[in-house]
Homo-oligomer: A and B are copies of this chain.
Amino acid sequence: MIVSTSDEWRQTHVESWHREYEEEVHIYSCMEDVPKDIREKTDVLITFGNDLTCENVNDFSSLRWVQLLSAGLEDLPFKELKEKQLTITNARGVHSRSMREYAVGAMLHFEKHFHRFLQLKDEKIWERETLVGELVDRKVLIFGTGTIGCDMAEAASFFGMTVDGVNTNGCLKDPFERVYTTEEGLNRLSDYDYVISVLPYTPLTQNIFSHDILERLHPDAVFMNLGRGGVVDEQALADLLRKQKMKGAVLDVFVEEPLPRDHSFWDLPNLLLTPHMSAKSNHYMTRCMNILLDNYQRYRKNELQNMKNLVDLTKYY
Binding site for B on A (CB under 8 A): 97-98, 101-102, 104-106, 108-109, 111-115, 117-118, 120-121, 124, 126-128, 131-137, 155, 158-160, 257-259, 261, 266, 271-277, 280-283
Chain B residue numbers with a CB within 8 Å of A120 are 275
Contact B112 A101 (CB under 8 A): yes
Q: Is the CB of A266 within 8 A of B111?
A: no
Q: Please state if A132 and B283 are interface contacts (CB–CB under 8 Å).
A: no
Rounded to whole angstroms, the CA-CA distance of A265 and B105 in the bound complex is 24
CA distance A117 to B128 in the complex (A): 26
* A69–chain B nearest beta-carbon distance, Å: 15
Rounded to whole Å, the gap between the CB of A105 and the closest CB of chain B is 3
Sampled A-B contacts (7; CB under 8 Å): A112-B277, A113-B277, A120-B275, A126-B259, A127-B275, A128-B275, A131-B280
Could you tell me if A135 and B266 are in contact, using CB atoms closer than 8 angstroms? no
- A134 and B98: CB pair below 8 A? yes
Decide yes or no: A280 and B108 within 8 Å by CB, A101-B159, A115-B118, A121-B266 being known contacts.
no
Question: Inside 8 A of A160's CB, which chain B residues have their CB?
Answer: 97
Query: Once the chains bind, are A126 and B158 in contact (CB under 8 Å)?
Result: no
- Residues in B whose Cβ lies below 8 Å from that of A102: 108, 112
In this complex, what residue of B is CB-closest to A129? B275
- Contact yes or no, A274 B117, CB < 8 A: yes
Contact assessment for A135 and B101 in the assembled complex, using a CB-CB cutoff below 8 Å:
yes
- How many Å lie between the Cα of A276 and that of B126 in the bound state? 9
